[in-house]
Structure formats: structure tokens, C-alpha cells
Amino acid sequence: MGGAQKIIYQLASAVSEDGCNHSICSLLHSGPYEKVMRDEGIDLTVLNARRRSIILFPLFVYDLFFLFKRLVNIVKKKQVDILHAHLPDSSLIAIVIGWLTNTPVVLTVHNNFSLPSKRKAPLRDAVRTFVTNTVFGRADYIIAVGNDIRDSLLKSLGNKVAIKTVHNGIDYLRYANPAKFDPFQFRQSLGVSNIARLVSMVGRLEKQKGHIYLIDAVAQLKEKYPDVVVLLVGDGELKAQLVEQVQRQKVAGNILFLGNRDDIPAILGISDLFVLPSIYEGVPLVLLEAMAAALPVVATDIAGTRELIESGVDGVLVEAESPEDIARAIDNVLSDVEQSRKMSVLAQTKVRERFTLQQMVSGTEDVYKEVLNAI
């Protein structure tokens, strides 16, 4: 469950006046969106492809051969007009399938860590960057979810391929006007008292999202705000490590791990503040959702969040990987309710005017039309 997966679901479920139909292929395995896609009648194929290391080269090539064969058959059988790929591995595969089937390819790049890579493995990153830049240049069109990502792509690829920003968007009304619920009863269902100050964070439990810095910040705030409770929504490989950190910092009573949830509007609805302490992002949907819910937001000052928030005007930006800065910002927001309310109103207006699902769908369809008209 991540931003790219959610965008794919939103695009596939959007009603198009031009009759654009989507057929989704999940390369590796299914996930949280499989059931809702099938319930809505979206055409979904789960390929369950193996992901063996390239060190096992013969088996690696064998797996790729059969993956390509299956995808070629799907493209031909469904008479696909456009291949639209998300995330680096899928994009590389789509370029090959597009070449084999003479089908135009659109790629969506979700963050700057896709191109070039910055994972502190110089040789691997150099090879990956060369391959990615070379292959991405063979796409028919690239969608960047933010202007900073677009600029990075232009720097890497120049005029090899058309590149356009189509900002991520959300179902604004789902968060601005959530379905009615009893906030007191909902708090009780989560095991939270009615007087607790609630800070929410939504994101996979992975290093990128910066949970460790938020937990350290809570430890610093505990004495001044003993009733603060952080609702951590999401799951991932770091859960055990984060639980251990919570125990070590003696903030178990201040941190709740809620796992993956489908009631995010309600969680935002009972929260006093939303925090996103990520190390890097594209254009984070969860931040847009919190802004649409008229929540005060604190986020790290990184590319992507800077595109959404003007610090001190419609949110607060803090230094990345700094528990001290995060704690200071949370303290300021919780202690100045009036200023926080003004920022949250401006943030909600910004999302309504610039970052809706309708705008994202329309921008994507415009790209599809450009690609088809160029054939």
C-alpha cells in the first residue's frame, strides 16, 4: 500500500467521458487494493512474477523471458492502445514490451530517487542510473507528479522525450466532508481518551518515512504534553524495530500502531495535527489528504513537500532527520490554536483549487490524447 498503488487505483476507477478503459497488471503479487479493484469490476491481472537476483543470471533471464511473453500476449489480446507504467522496474519492463508490440509507452515518475538513484551503493547506482536514463529516454511520454521531479528528469534526459507535470490529486470531498461518525465512540474504539491530543501519521513503516525521528520527538514532548498520542497508520518491515524504539524511549502510552486502515478520513477527523517526517518524497498523497481535512500539518523541508506547503502560511516545514525540529514545530502548533487554524484553512483551499482527483485524471487523459494523436 503506497502512493503509486493508490494513484493506479484512482486512475483505473475514474469515470472517463471519452470511454478510457484500464486493464491493470500487477507484476509481482497482489496487495491491499486487489479486493476493491475486483469489487469495482476493474480488470486486474496478478502475474506473480519471480524476483530473483541478477547474480543468478540464467534463472533471471528465464524468468524475464516468460514475464515478457505473458505481457506481450496480454497487450495483443486486450488490444492495448497505451502502456502506462509506474515505478522504475515496471517502467523498464514496459519500454521493452512497448518495443516488442509497437505500443506507445507512458511512464509516471513518482520521486527523484527513481532517476538517478541515491541509495549509497556507487557501482550499482551508476549502472542503474545509466540503464534507467537510457531506457526512459525511449518512452513516448513521461508524467512527473511534481515540478521538482520534472526538472530532475529534464536535466537527466533533455529533449529525448516529452515530459509534463501532472500533479498528484485526491478525492477532495472524501476528506473535507467525511462520512458522519461519532468521534467520541471512534476514539474509544482506538483506545484513546477523549482529552488526548492526537497527532496522526500515515505511511509505510519504512526508513524513507522517518518514523524514528517522530518517535524521538514525542519522547522530547512527553513531559510538556503527557496526554499526546501519535496514531501511526501503516505497516512495513520496520515495525519490530519501531516497537522496540517506543519501548526504549518509554513512550508506549503515547504511540499507537494501527496498521493499514481504510478509515483514514475518520482518523484525520479526530486528529489535532498531522506530521510527515519523511526523508524524501514525491508529492505525498497523505499530506494532501491531511490538508484537505483542514488539519494543521508539519512536514520535513524536502522536495515534494515544499511544492505543497509554504512554511508558516499553510503548514510548517522542518529540517529532515531532526527530532528536535519536529518536536519544536509540534509544540508551536499545539500551543497556538488560532494560528494553526488559519494555516489549515489556507491549506484546505489550496488542495481544493489545485490538487483534486479530477485535475489529476484530466491531466493524465490529456497526455493519453497527445500520445495517440502523435501516432
Q: Which of 1-10, 174-183, 253-262, 305-314 has the lowest mean pLDDT?
A: 1-10
Fold of 172-354: Rossmann fold (3.40.50)
- H/E segment holding residue 89: helix 88-101
- Return mean pLDDT, the chain: 91
Q: What is the mean pLDDT of residues 20-47?
A: 89
Q: Which of 50-54, 82-86, 283-287, 339-343 has the lowest mean pLDDT?
A: 50-54
How many whole angstroms from its chain centre is CA 249? Answer: 29
Q: What does the pLDDT read at residue 16?
A: 59
Yes or no: say if 181 and 189 are a contact pair by the CB < 8 Å rule. Answer: no
Q: What is the mean pLDDT of residues 273-283?
A: 94
More confident residue, 89 or 167: 167
DSSP of 193-226: -TT-EEEEEES-SSGGG-HHHHHHHHHHHTTT-T
Supply 278's cell numbers: 519523511
Q: Do domains 3-169+357-373 and 172-354 have the same CATH topology?
A: yes
Break the chain into its structural domains and give their ranges: 3-169+357-373, 172-354
- Does the pLDDT value for residue 256 go beyond 80? yes
Pick the CATH number of 3-169+357-373 from 3.70.10.10, 3.40.50.2000, 3.40.50.300, 3.10.180.10: 3.40.50.2000
Report residue 270's pLDDT band, with 50, 70 and 90 as the boundaries: very high
